[in-house]
Amino acid sequence: MAKYIFGYHGQAVSAESVAQDKAMMAAWGKWFRDMGPALVEIGNPAGPSKVLTADGTIAGPQGGGLTGYSIVEADTIDGAMQLANGCPIFAAGGSIEIAELMPM
């Protein structure tokens, strides 16, 4: 099985109340649990980012910035994409970038 990284893109969810925050965390927890042993590393959220180019230019990310990552195992990238179904980031208007992690 190959390993794939899920790069979460979108604005960080800022709940307006403690109840909403708990509900969002519960949704993420359920989604992670539902992946079972395919979830290799739950990952971490990411803070604000900047983009550095070869000429030294610094800019903000284009589109929704990286807001976190996870690592999963699947037979194919299509299998990894199936694992991404139902991710709570979609409810917040975000997306997931999926790429195979290549052994070195």
Window from 8-12, 50-54, 76-80, 85-89 with minimum mean pLDDT: 8-12
> Tokens 């979609």 — which residue?
90
**What radius of gyration, in Å, describes the C-alpha atoms of the chain?**
15
The count of structural domains within the chain is 1
* Residue 43 structural domain: 2-100
Confidence of residue 12 (pLDDT cuts 50, 70, 90): low
Q: How far is CA 54 from the centre of its chain?
A: 26
The pTM (predicted TM-score) of the whole model is 0.85
Per-residue pLDDT, 62 = 72
Confidence of residue 92 (pLDDT cuts 50, 70, 90): confident
pLDDT tens-digit readout, 22-53: 888 899 999 999 999 999 999 998 888 888 98
- pLDDT above 90: residue 96: yes
- CATH of residue 55's domain is 3.30.70.1060
CB 95 within 8 A of CB 10: yes
